[in-house]
A and B are shown apart, each in its own frame.
Chain A
Amino acid sequence: MIYSKVRRLASRVMLAGIASALGACVADNETTSSSEAVSNSSAPVSQSSAPTSSSANSSVSSSAAFVPPPEQTPGPPALTVAINAGGPAASLDGIAYQADAYFSGGSTYVTDADIAGTDEDDVYLTERYEDSSYAIPVENGRYNIRLNFSETYHDAVGERLFNVLVEGQQVLSNVDIFATVGMRAAMIENINNIAVTDGSLDIEFQSVAALAKVTGIVVYKVDTTQSHADTGKAIFDARCLSCHSPATKGVGTRADESGHDMQSLTATIEATMPPPGLGEACDAECSYYTAKYIASVNPFFERPIPGPEPEQPIADIAPLPPVMSRLSKLEYNNTVRDLFGIHSNPADQFPADLSGQFDNDNATLSVTSLHIEKFAEAAENIATEVVEAAANGNRSVINCEITNASCAQTVINELGVKVWRRPLSNEESGDLLALYNDVQGVTGNRATSMTALLRTLLFSPNFLYRPEFDQNLNSTDAQPLSAYELASRLSYFLWASTPDEPLLDKAADGSLLNDATIRSEVARMLADPRSETLVDSFAMTWLDFNRFLSHSVDLNQFPQYTDEVKVDLLAETRNFLHHIVRDDRPLAEILDANYTYLNERVANYYGVQGVSGNHFRMYEWPEGSQRKGLMGHAAALTAHSHPAATSPVKRGTWVMDRFLCDRPPEPSADVISQFPDIPSGLDPREISELHKESSAVCASCHAYVDPIGYGMENFNPVGLWRDRYTVNNRTVDSSAELPNNGGQFSSLTELADILATKGEVSICSIGYAMSYALGRRATTVFVPGISSADYPAVYDIYQKTLDSAHSMHDVFTEIALSPAFRTRLGANSGSQQPQ
């Protein structure tokens, strides 16, 4: 082992770093209401309520002092006036109603009855009916209105219907008191937050069927004092939302707030937001209020990162119900291999799966007519093969003599549970036996009947999909998965295949629901060769090497990049990631490993001496080497280049996307129109700089993407070292600084070291693993109220795996133990998984 597993991670310094600011979207709203929103709090007061923190560890500092005013919290709405419509002064619910006033139109009516739902009947017994209106004099401001109604005349649904308008806007339509509460019962309607700007609160009652009525009106004035967080929200909505919308970056970013206190968050916003070219700078005052808002909505604010276990467990990790998955092509092939020993990969004939981030993305694994044709054909072929083997005495799958009628029941009992990954119900077993008997009746051929039985098992949605059944479809509380469902989740996560017998046994006796069993099963499964799939399905996909072989280079310029070299460069990377995944290495080692895997051909390509033979073996880079970690792999450097030129943008984008979960968008048509003309003879760094100089909008993205790419510029389009650019003979400069004081470097190895210590790299990587485990995109963006479920879960796993520096197996184990993996909300709970 070259590395000690436990690594020191950097302190919270600049967790905001690169990921935070990334303002790559175009500002489409200028600073509209922000100045207005701030202006009412301009009087500085000496007493400071800003939190003072000892850990002013941030490397950015506030330029201008801003002392926030004392914070006033808005009081409850205050009673303004209450009116007993059509009657004298009265009392109800502790409110003194004055005699009817401010009305025009309508008639009055008084009755005597016992009104259900209240002990104080007076207000409900007098009324103003017919079309009428009230014009209540009030100060301008915002008001809540409560209306009292009772039905004392009509006794059927739909007989009396009316509309209510406030300030000219219809707020209640087709009110039917009888339909809502029945006859002689109290009904209350609340209408909130009505703005009055003309000194008169106007309420109208319009008849629709029979005659409109009202019995009481209560008016409350809303306290419009804004909390500092409210002020911040107004700023945020006006100035930040176009980039930090729920669908994109969310409020703040990733781990940021976790590492921040008020002072450092305020300072970071002031120093970095908005990015250049995206509007007026957010000054100290603006930054303070925005930080107050972020702090108010993000429960992870001020949580130290990295640090000890959180004091309070993260309780409300909402395990979103995934969309029912179907077997991907890979999963189908693995499944029939493990069930039947069939190695012919029948799913290769299926239409290509549409993949999301990973090929097991349940939202994209759909079924169409073409799939059904292929499923039917595959089921037929597999069933035929299995039955033929059985007829020839092979008992490995069908453990009975197929010429015996009783064999069908044996197969249903023993094979059914394996194929459908759960026990069959009596009804299901009965129907399968009936099918067998029907076919036997038609054909008189036991082999054909057995084949039809297997075909049905394999063509059934119970095999092709992985349904999970909720105890309560509407539950908004997390419900545990059944032990069999958990077995399938585990096996398709770690093996991309069906549960084996030990796993099904632990599902059968329920022990799989225990933490200890999950731990031991995950360990067993990771030691099994079937977990090799994690290298390709997870790691190689995550890090974008699936399409590597289709990348071409300019062979006139780079004749040394032969097909053999290309294949072996990919093998270098796969061997490296195989080691990381199978040998349980820390996540960040992907970036800063001081070793790689070489065979003779790749060694020669790199100019390394002393490696002979075709096989790959671990090779430790000597002190002072030019390469380090995955960024130093020729495959990675080549894949993110143009065929004949390097691209700091492509390389930078790859790192930001796959390690920081922050992919900069493609330039918009508007931005494209600002592309400068590129004179010939410029090297890639000069071209990037030209972009930045030509327009502030271009610079807003390139400031974040390009520095990472610059760090890799000493490697040419096929990943080989260069000191000078061919195009202009200029010396290559790999030095740059990550934005927002994110760290200076002068080489790829220094860049690798900086990135490897960033907490958000580990958080992002865990997020990718989570996405793969759940078969859906796990969001690592914090968004209040919307799809925020994954962020706490990922954060929690981050915390729990600190001791191992987030070693791969530790991460996989904690994912398997997490509520997001073991429980689900009801499918109809209204929660939707992010897509």
Chain B
Amino acid sequence: MTQIELRRNKAPKLNRRSFLAGSGVCMSLPLLEAMLPAGKTAFAQDATPGRMLIFFTGNGCHMQTFTPSQAGNFNGNFGTATSLNPLRDIAGDITTIKGLHNDPMRGETGDHGKGSGAFMTCAPVAKNRISSHTTMDVLAARQIANQTRYQNLHLGIDSVGGGFPDNGYSAAYMGNISWENATTPSPRENNPQNLFNRLFSGDLPDNSGGGVDATAAVNQSVIDAVLQDVNRLESKLGVADKEKLQGYLDGVRDLERQLSFEQPEVVEGSACERPNIGGNGNFATNSRLFNELMVMAFTCDLTRVISYVFSNGLNGRQYSNLGINRGHHDISHHGNNQGNFDLLKRIDTYHMEEYAHLCKRLKETIDVQGKSLLDSCMVLYSSEIADGNSHSHYDLPIVIAGKGNGRVRSGRHINTNSGRIADLFLAMQQHVGANINSFGNSQGPLNLS
């Protein structure tokens, strides 16, 4: 039986102690003018960081009012695509695409589970057991992990569905569009307050009594000690258990790396200030809270890759805020019923309002170079399927906000005949600075210029 070696992250050897002891400049952070000490130009090495965000909603869209009817510039008007109207104010930053497919998700059944689980893998997932692939956000984030305190964030409003499979496809696929490896979905923060605490409150508390240096030394001693435990365990475990222990080891290495970054230096009155979070609410409230937190995470350069699940595939959420008391999934199986179409249009429009709110907040935020933060972003809106009744994985709903540092010529609708969403993902990965040349069934980065 082959013995496997645990892989150890090759994290750069940062001098934690000098970081923690040092005061003043936080090298990972200074993106915004207000935060920069006079005369410092912290951007020399990374002048225009790229950022990406995936805004995912489950159960597809009513495509007839979602996709513009013809290619070309919007000229401030989405025509028949009335569900996009909430984006009208920022139409110049918006790109819509028709004709992107996610072919590997095709198959006989289980479209929601499989479709969600394989949405960002662009490769088939296994039936009757959990076996997916590392998703495009995690792959990209790993390549640029050393740039920010958090490699990437995975957020969602709903909790992740456990329990029983969607026609053989594990329920794990349903809510988890982001995967660390074949068997481990990225854990999702679904409580805005917890996310806030994580991003904006302190490190491991200092109880050393010996100041910052001593705290760092104690932390390191504890980490070294548990790594010894890992080594001892490793020698006694079978292959599968070693694989499982790998998650622990990677996590501890990541923690070491995080501790090498200082907490964001929050300056009241500057762009990177502590967001005002009022705890948890219903999904409508939480949607706005998450929008604020995502904007701040980019603003304070805590991460450059975020995947966000506004609603899970197969979700039966009742949009009571819209006066709709039937579940979304039920309605999405519309049976070509006009009443259902009307409900779906209202739901799609609401989704767009929330997406538009996020994008407008990004647009309002001006970075040190005097540009809108949205210019550095590619914010993708999509779903695991197109039409909810037929479960198609072709012609997926695609909206991109942001100019991707010039990569995206926005303000228009693009009609590709048979493109692959993997190519769009590849373009997004390259946009954030990941050195990735192929992904899933990609053929090359989608040209959006």
Query: What is the chain B residue whose CB lies nearest that of A678?
Result: B335
A349's partner among B186, B194, B255 (CB-CB below 8 A) is: B194
Expressed in whole angstroms, the Cα–Cα distance for A473 and B238 within the complex equals 6
Using Cβ atoms and an 8 Å threshold, which residues of chain A touch B440? none
**Cβ–Cβ contact A459 & B335, under 8 A:** no
Q: How far is the CA of A556 from the CA of B324 in the complex (A)?
A: 12
With both beta carbons as reference points, the residue of chain B lying nearest to A435 in the complex is identified as B225
Contacts A355-B163, A373-B198, A552-B318 given: A665-B185 contact, CB under 8 Å?
Answer: no
A372 is an interface residue with CB less than 8 A from chain B: yes
Does B33 lie at the interface of the complex (its beta carbon under 8 Å from any beta carbon of A)?
no
A675 touches B335 (CB 8 A): yes
Q: How far is the CB of B302 from chain A (nearest CB, A)?
A: 13
Question: Is B241 a contact of A354 with CB atoms below 8 Å?
Answer: no
Per the CB 8 Å criterion, the residue count for chain B at the interface is 79
Q: How far is the CA of A356 from the CA of B165 in the complex (A)?
A: 9
- Bound-state Cα–Cα, A376 to B258, Å: 12
Q: By the criterion CB–CB under 8 Å, are A473 and B1 in contact?
A: yes
* Of the residues A324, A373, A834, contact of B255 by C-beta under 8 Å: A373
Please tell me if the beta carbons of A445 and B168 are within 8 angstroms of each other in the complex. no
Which residues 597-643 of A sit at the B interface, judged by CB distance below 8 A?
Answer: 642-643
Question: What sequence of 0s and 1s flags, for each residue 158-197 of chain B, a beta carbon within 8 Å of any chain A beta carbon?
Answer: 0110111011101010001000100111111110001000
B391 sits at the interface (CB 8 A) = yes
Q: Is A560 an interface residue (CB 8 A)?
A: no
Cβ of B221 under 8 Å from chain A: yes
Task: Given A366-B183, A442-B217, verify A828-B326 contact (CB < 8 Å).
Answer: no
Is there contact, CB below 8 Å, between B218 and A443? yes
A407-B186 Cα distance, complex, nearest whole Å: 41
A826 at the interface (CB under 8 A from B): yes
CB distance from A323 to the nearest CB of B (A): 5
A432 within 8 Å of B by Cβ? yes
Chain A, interface SS category: loop
A367 CA to B6 CA, complexed, in Å: 15
Question: Quick one: which of B189, B238, B333 contacts A351, CB cutoff 8 A?
Answer: B189
Which of A109-117, A224-232, A330-338, A666-674 lies on the face that meets chain B?
A666-674
- List A contacts of B217 (CB < 8 A): 439, 442-443
Task: Please name all residues of chain A whose beta carbon is closer than 8 Å to the beta carbon of B218 when the two chains form the complex.
Answer: 439, 442-443, 448, 452
- Docked complex Cα distance between A372 and B255 (Å): 7
Taking the nearest CB of chain B, how far is it from the CB of A538, in angstroms?
Answer: 14
Bound CA span A459–B254, Å: 15
The residue of chain B having its C-beta at the shortest distance from the C-beta of A445 within the complex is B209
Determine if B237 is an interface residue (Cβ-Cβ < 8 Å). yes
Q: Which partner residue on chain A sits nearest B209 by CB separation?
A: A445
Residues of B contacting A353 in the complex (Cβ-Cβ under 8 angstroms)? 162
Q: Which residues 660-695 of A sit at the B interface, judged by CB distance below 8 A?
A: 663, 665-670, 672-673, 675, 677-678
B325 to chain A, nearest CB (A): 5
Assess A459 versus B108: contact at CB under 8 Å? Given A376-B204, A384-B205, A384-B207. Answer: no
Contacts of B221 in A (CB 8 A): 435, 438-439, 442, 452
Quote the shortest CB–CB distance from A691 to chain B (angstroms): 12
For the complex, give the distance between the alpha carbons of A687 and B176 in Å.
34
Q: A368 to B153, alpha carbons, bound, how many Å? A: 12
A-chain residues with CB within 8 Å of residue B168 when the two chains form the complex? 247-248, 665
Complex partner residue of A448 from B172, B207, B330, CB under 8 angstroms: B207
B333 touches A666 (CB 8 A): no
* A contact residues around B237 at 8 Å (CB): 324, 467, 469, 827
Instruction: Enumerate A399-449 residues with CB–CB distance to B below 8 Å.
Output: 425, 427-428, 431-432, 435, 438-439, 442-445, 447-448
User: Which residues of B, 214-258, contact A by the 8 Å Cβ criterion?
Assistant: 214, 217-218, 221-222, 224-226, 228-230, 232-233, 236-241, 244-245, 247-248, 250-252, 254-255, 258
Query: Which B residues touch A556, using CB under 8 A?
Result: 325
Closest residue of chain A to B183 (Cβ to Cβ) is: A366
Task: Determine whether B210 belongs to the interface, using a CB cutoff of 8 Å to chain A.
Answer: yes
* Interfacial chain B residues near A302, Cβ < 8 Å: none
B208 at the interface (CB under 8 A from A): yes
Does B371 have its Cβ within 8 Å of any Cβ on chain A? no
Nearest CB in chain B: distance from A249 CB, A: 12
> Is B110 positioned at the interface, with any CB of A under 8 Å from its CB?
yes
A384, A461, A835, most chain B CB atoms within 10 A: A461
Report how far A439 CA is from B220 CA in the complex, Å.
10
Would you call A465 an interface residue if the criterion is a C-beta within 8 Å of the partner chain's C-beta atoms?
yes
Stretch at the interface among B65-73, B86-94, B125-133, B292-300: B125-133
Indicate whether B281 reaches chain A with its CB closer than 8 angstroms.
no
Assign chain A's interface to a size class.
35 or more
Given contacts A351-B187, A467-B236, A669-B109, contact A663 B164 (CB under 8 A): yes
Q: A132 at the A/B interface (Cβ < 8 Å)?
A: no
Interface presence of B389 (CB below 8 A)? yes
B111 at the interface (CB under 8 A from A): yes
If the complex has contacts A352-B187, A367-B247, are A828 and B325 also in contact, measured as CB distance less than 8 A?
A: no
B180 touches A368 (CB 8 A): yes
CB distance from A601 to the nearest CB of B (A): 24
Q: Mark A324-344, 1 if CB is under 8 A from B, else 0.
A: 101000000000000000000
**Contact count A vs B, C-beta below 8 Å:** 225
Closest to A670 in B: B108
Q: In the complex the two chains form, what is the Cα distance from A826 to B204 in whole Å? A: 39
Q: How far is the CA of A384 from the CA of B198 in the complex (A)?
A: 20
Contacting pair B205 A380 (CB below 8 A)? yes
Among A142-150, A357-365, A486-494, A512-520, which stretch is in contact with chain B? Answer: A357-365
Docked pose: A53 CA to B390 CA in angstroms: 51
Contact A354 B1 (CB under 8 A): no
B59 within 8 A of A: no
Do B151 and A369 have beta carbons less than 8 Å apart? yes
Known interface pairs A352-B160, A364-B162, A460-B229; A828-B238 also in contact (CB < 8 Å): yes
Q: Determine whether A84 belongs to the interface, using a CB cutoff of 8 Å to chain B.
A: no
Asked if A370 is at the interface (CB within 8 A of a chain B CB), the reply is yes
Residues in chain B near residue A792, CB distance under 8 A: none
Say which residue of A384, A431, A643 sits within 8 Å of B225 (CB atoms). A431
Say whether A371 faces chain B, with CB atoms less than 8 Å apart.
Answer: yes
Does B76 sit within 8 A of A, measured CB to CB?
A: no
Residues of B within 8 A of A528 (CB): none
Partner pick for A371 among B166, B187, B205, CB 8 A cutoff: B187
Given the known A-B contacts A452-B218, A461-B226, A657-B164, are A672 and B390 also in contact in the complex, defined by CB atoms under 8 Å?
A: yes
Bound Cα distance from A832 to B204, whole angstroms: 39
Q: Is the CB of B225 within 8 A of A669?
A: no
Q: Mark A796-835, 1 if CB is under 8 A from B, else 0.
A: 0000000000000000000000000000001110001011
A456 touches B109 (CB 8 A): no
CB-defined contacts of B239 to chain A, threshold 8 Å: 827-828
Complex: chain B residue closest to A366, CB-CB: B184
Least Cβ–Cβ distance between A667 and chain B, in angstroms:
8
Closest Cβ–Cβ distance, residue A416 to chain B (whole Å): 12
Q: Mark B103-147, 1 if CB is under 8 A from A, else 0.
A: 000001111000000000000000111100000000000000000
17 contacts between A and B (CB under 8 A): A248-B128, A321-B240, A326-B244, A359-B162, A363-B130, A372-B255, A380-B207, A442-B210, A442-B214, A442-B217, A442-B218, A451-B207, A461-B245, A467-B241, A469-B236, A643-B325, A678-B335
12 additional contacts, CB 8 Å, given A461-B230, A643-B318? A321-B238, A324-B237, A357-B164, A364-B172, A368-B247, A380-B207, A425-B232, A435-B225, A460-B229, A552-B318, A663-B164, A827-B239
Residues of A at under 8 Å CB distance from B? 26, 247-248, 321, 323-324, 326, 349, 351-357, 359, 363-364, 366-373, 376-377, 380-381, 384, 425, 427-428, 431-432, 435, 438-439, 442-445, 447-448, 451-452, 455-456, 459-462, 464-465, 467, 469-470, 473-474, 544, 552, 554-556, 642-644, 657, 663, 665-670, 672-673, 675, 677-678, 826-828, 832, 834-835
Q: Which residues of B contact A (CB under 8 A)?
A: 1, 108-111, 127-130, 151, 159-160, 162-164, 166-168, 170, 172, 176, 180, 183-190, 194, 198, 204-205, 207-210, 214, 217-218, 221-222, 224-226, 228-230, 232-233, 236-241, 244-245, 247-248, 250-252, 254-255, 258, 318, 320, 325-327, 330, 333, 335-336, 389-391
- Which A-B residue pairs are the 3 nearest by beta carbons? A827-B238, A372-B251, A355-B162
